[in-house]
Every structure is written in structure tokens, then in C-alpha cells.
Amino acid sequence: MRRRVWGTAVVLGLLAGVAPVASARAATGGAGEPVPLARLFDNRAVSDDARPGEADFDGSGGSLSARDLTAAGWTPGGALTVQGARLTWPDRAPGEADNVRADGQSVRVRGRGDALAFLVAATGGADASGTGTVRYTGGARSTYRLTAPDWRTGPLATKAVALPHINTPGGQLAEKARLYVVTVPLVRGRQLASVTLPRDRDLHVFALSVRPESRGWTGSWAASTSGYTAVGPWTDRTLRLVVHTSAGGPRVRIRLDNTFASAPVRVGSATVALRAEGAAALGAPVPLSFGGRAGTEIPAGAQAFSDPLGFEVPPDTDLLVSFHLPGTVPAAPVHRLAQQTSYVSEPGDHAGDGSAAPYTSTITTWPLLTGVDVGGGPGSVVLLGDSITDGERTTVGANRRWPDVLADRLRQQDQVPRYGVLNQGISANRVVTDRYPGDGVSTDTGGVSALHRFDRDVLAQTSARTAVVFQGVNDVRWGATADQVVDGLREIAARGHARGLRMLVATIAPCEGEARCTATADAHRVAINEWIRGTDAFDGVLDFDRVLRDPDRPARMLPAYDSGDHLHPGEAGLAALAESVDLRLL
């Protein structure tokens, strides 16, 4: 077993932040008395479309459209939850100062958590970054590095929201403006007192907040948003989604994500129930609430957690999560490869109906729903993967993905904690290249790259303790080199370690005989696996290549484990993967 020991040096240059360093030195500095962020606003980013000259975000007269922000559900003083952090869009009218240019200012911040979330964007045509300081009560401090992508050229794959226009004094441009949420780690358990911003005046901060730790919760089920596709359209319909739990508990909450969207989505009501069969509930569905209300509106790019509900969730059980969409929904964020049949109702709010009768059509995706958490428990293992983890070629509704079998093993033993298992596999996903571009309606549901989704799909997952990375075959099948994939895996490991996660990696399975698994692709696969077996970048290695390969022809899968397409293991092969995992590594 490989272990990585992290000392007290600050690691700089990671995409989403750095490892915090506790210090006994007194919390002093030349940044001045900490004040709320809004008192430091010194830049005007948002303009009325009719008066674009009232704002100048970038020093060249460019600004965000107030109308576009409203259309996205980003309203002055409105709350946004992104990556588990609750942020507030500045309560400012168009043309008023609504953000601060980072220049070492000291900001009053309170709370305890695992990360500090910044709502940011850069101006100047490139990323803006710098090092800041977090001060805790009692005098300890930690440092962080914050990088904000540019508002016009930054990656769409990682943006919180993209607006369709940029206002200028000379007229409105049909060019996307981007805003980002970036998190950096905190010393867990310490009470924050203030945050000193970096010094880079091209880095603009609109909001910041502490993301609380998900104590008292275990992630039981999860699915990654793999794309943003046309649906229905659904008008006044109720979705009843079938999900299968890993861990159980006495309370439940759900998470809905409006990832990649350009408009808000309204949820009128929602319920949870145990499944009898089909769309029928075992007993009356129990209402969920959101901030004490029956429904919620989720802004573009944001998410919503339901309130805690006293509801006994058994492990290894099908749940029905139902929610009413009172408006018209022509497109939605989805997880495409559900390998599970779910249901859409006839018109009306049928979330509370126990009967299957109103549910007259079926779907094979999971729209909007990305997580189910249960009360208590030891936390979760997150599996970051591609179609082999997603369950390609498994029986629909049978829950025979390798993560399902791993969850069965964890429940049936007492060696290690009975973790929840969160399947974050996306069919066709890659480590270093986006399949879905990260913006707009698309038929491609291969997701953004593992590098681009790591913060959302691993770091922000409820109670994540350990992550397993099992990806790379799609990269080499589509022309990536071993060095590119290794660099991506190394960055993923470092980013996970910076947040205190235990990081495991799996070798890439053989695929000779599949059309794109050429000799060149296999050579890169072999080189990546050699690096994986010898690296200390991860805490442990799962040698899935050795489990699946044919000893007589190591470039191909053992026929008994092959689903028939030479790329995806069949159910026997997937079970072999799960059975091979040394649970003590988790």
C-alpha cells in the first residue's frame, strides 16, 4: 500500500486552491481591520442594458447585463448554492459598485467548514491569481492560492453561469460572459475570523462564504451531470426517479442540481418514498421541503438541498424521488446512462400519489437529481470513472455495476466502516478532455473532463472520505498520450490530498479487439499503468488491469469477463473488480 505524507509546506498552483497550513503566529497584518465584503466594493460589473456606460467591469467599458442575470435567476440579494456553499449575489442595483478588485483587503468572515468559496471572475484576458491568508480565532492562520478564470475567455466547463451577452458603450455583444465559483481548503474545525484577499487587481470577488462540513450525513447515492440535453418538453409534469441506496439512515435529504443551465428551474413540490414496484410507492410518499417551503427555484448553475426529513432509509433499497415541474422545461441537466427506468406523469402535481397510475411514460436518464444523503453513518467513498463505472452493458434495474457490488461488500463486513458508495462514473468521460463542452444544449453526454468536474463531483460530495480514480481508457482511445493522462492523474491526486481525501487509483483495463484500442493506444495504456503501479502520488493502487486481462494475451480482456464489445466488462467482470478491492485501502 502506498501512502503519501503531507507536511506543513504550502503547495501552490493547484487549480482550485492549496493545502492549508496551521500556524501559531498571531493574526496580525497590514491589511487593516476586517470588514464585510460589501463595504469593500470598488468596481461596477453590472449595467442596465439601456445604460451600459454606468458600469465598467474590465477597464474597457465591458459589463454584465442585468437583464441576463435576472433571466438566469441571479437576482440582487438572492441566495445561490454552488458546490455546497451558500453565496449571495450582491444586493446592488445596476451601475452600483458590486464587487471588489483583490488587493490584499481584509474581509470579515465567520464560520467553520472544509472550504472557503469565492464567487469570482478575472478581467485582463487571462487567469488572475494570487495568495491570500485565512485567520482563525485564537491566532492561527492558513494560506491559500486563488485562481479566477477570465470572464470572457475562461473555460465554460467550470463556470457557475454563462450569460449570453456583454454590454459595452458601443452596443451589446453576442459573447458569453462567465462567472465562477472557486473553493479553497480550510483548516477543519477552526472558527474563521477574517480572510485577506490576494493582490491581483484583475481578480474580482463578488461574494465569499464558508462551506460547512457535511457532518451528520453520509452520501448514499449520487450521479454526475453528464450533459445538458433537450427533454420533453415537460409542462406541468412530475418526474418520479428510481435510485438505489448504498448506506441507510434515519433521516434523508436530496440534492437537485441545475448544472450547465442558462435559466432557472422551478420545483413545485417533492416527495420521497420506498418503492414497491414500477412507479408504485410502498406507502404514501412523504413531502420534502426546501427552506421550509414545499418547492424551490434553482438558479442557473446552482443547486438545492432539501431540508432534513425524518424518514427511515434502508440500505440496498430502491427509493422513489418525485418532484413536480410546474413550468415548461425544454432542456435539463441529466445523467444519461442511468441503467434504470424512471417515470414521467400525465399533467399535474403527482409527487404525493402512491399509485403508479399517473405515471404514463418512462425515461432512462436521471434529470436534475444528483444526490441522496442519509443521516448518520461514517461517510462515503467516491468513485470517479467512465462507462465501466457507470454500468455500461449491465442489466437495467438490476444494480450490478461494480460500485453496487462494492457497496454490497461494505455492508456485509465489519473490517472497515460501512461507507456509502457514490458512483460518479460518466460514460465516454475522459481525464483531460471535455466531451460535453460545458455550456448549451447538446446531444453529447460524455461530460466535462475529470479535471474539470473533480471539484463538483468529488470534493463537494457529501461526507467524502476516499476517492477512487478509474479513468484513462477513453483518453488513449482518442489520441491522448500517456504523459498527458499521467499529468492529469497527478493533478487530481494533489487536489484531493489538499482537501484531506484519501486518494486511490486503478490501473486501466485492456481492450484489444475494440476498434479504437489500437496498438498505439495500448502502448500508452501500458505506460500509464506502469506509472500507476510505481507512483507515490496516490495512497493506494487497485490493479484492475491484472484482474481483467487474459494472462495469455495481456492486451485483451479475459473472454469470461468480456461483455462482447472488448471494451466493457460484463457483469462477471464487474463483480470481479469489486471483489478484488482490498477494503482496508478505503
Whole-number pLDDT of residue 485? 98
Indicate whether 5 belongs to any domain.
Answer: no
pLDDT of 62 higher than 80: yes
Mean predicted confidence (pLDDT) in 375-386: 98
If asked whether residues 385 and 529 sit together in one domain, one would say: yes
Mean predicted confidence (pLDDT) in 557-565: 98
* Amino acid at position 136, single letter: Y
If asked whether residues 369 and 245 sit together in one domain, one would say: yes
If asked whether residues 273 and 390 sit together in one domain, one would say: no
Return the number of other C-beta atoms located less than 10 Å from residue 112's C-beta. 16
Q: Residue for cell digits 460535453? A: 436
Q: Residue for cell digits 460524455? A: 446
pLDDT of 571 higher than 50: yes
If asked whether residues 304 and 352 sit together in one domain, one would say: yes
**Structural domain that includes position 457:** 378-586
Pick the last residue of a domain from 176, 211, 246: 211
* Amino acid at position 439, single letter: D
* Alpha helices, H only, 364-435: 387-390, 402-411
Whole-number pLDDT of residue 8? 26
Mean predicted confidence (pLDDT) in 393-419: 97
Q: For position 492, which CATH number holds? A: 3.40.50.1110
Nearest to 214 by CA among 264, 262, 249, 180: 249
If asked whether residues 557 and 573 sit together in one domain, one would say: yes
Over the Cα atoms of the chain, what is R_g? 24
pTM of the complete model: 0.94
Whole-number pLDDT of residue 31? 54
What's the mean pLDDT when you consider all of the chain?
94
Mean predicted confidence (pLDDT) in 201-226: 97
Indicate whether 54 belongs to any domain.
Answer: yes
If asked whether residues 383 and 368 sit together in one domain, one would say: no
Whole-number pLDDT of residue 6? 27
Pick the last residue of a domain from 373, 389, 418: 373
Whole-number pLDDT of residue 572? 98
If asked whether residues 368 and 385 sit together in one domain, one would say: no
Indicate whether 313 belongs to any domain.
Answer: yes
From CA 390, how far away is CA 59, in angstroms rounded?
46
If asked whether residues 436 and 562 sit together in one domain, one would say: yes
If asked whether residues 91 and 146 sit together in one domain, one would say: yes
If asked whether residues 124 and 144 sit together in one domain, one would say: yes
Indicate whether 13 belongs to any domain.
Answer: no
354 touches 283 (CB < 8 A) = yes
If pLDDT is split at 50, 70 and 90, which confidence band does 25 have? very low
If asked whether residues 499 and 407 sit together in one domain, one would say: yes
Nearest to 246 by CA among 397, 388, 409, 415: 409
Task: Domain count for the chain, please give it.
Answer: 3
Whole-number pLDDT of residue 402? 98
Whole-number pLDDT of residue 29? 36
Mean predicted confidence (pLDDT) in 128-151: 97
Is the sign of the CA dihedral 571, 573, 578, 579 positive or negative?
Answer: positive
Condensed to tens digits (0 to 9), the pLDDT of residues 232-290 reads 999 999 999 999 999 999 999 999 999 999 999 999 999 999 999 999 999 999 999 99
Percent of the chain past pLDDT 90, that is, above it, reads 94
Pick the last residue of a domain from 191, 211, 231: 211
* Alpha helices, H only, 7-100: 66-71
Whole-number pLDDT of residue 202? 98
205 touches 99 (CB < 8 A) = yes
Indicate whether 300 belongs to any domain.
Answer: yes
pLDDT of 203 higher than 70: yes
Condensed to tens digits (0 to 9), the pLDDT of residues 349-366 reads 999 999 999 999 999 999
If asked whether residues 55 and 202 sit together in one domain, one would say: yes
pLDDT of 555 higher than 80: yes
pLDDT of 18 higher than 50: no
Whole-number pLDDT of residue 32? 76
From CA 242, how far away is CA 530, in angstroms rounded?
40
Indicate whether 20 belongs to any domain.
Answer: no
pLDDT of 7 higher than 50: no
Condensed to tens digits (0 to 9), the pLDDT of residues 89-100 reads 999 999 999 999
Indicate whether 547 belongs to any domain.
Answer: yes
Indicate whether 291 belongs to any domain.
Answer: yes
From CA 577, how far away is CA 331, in angstroms rounded?
36
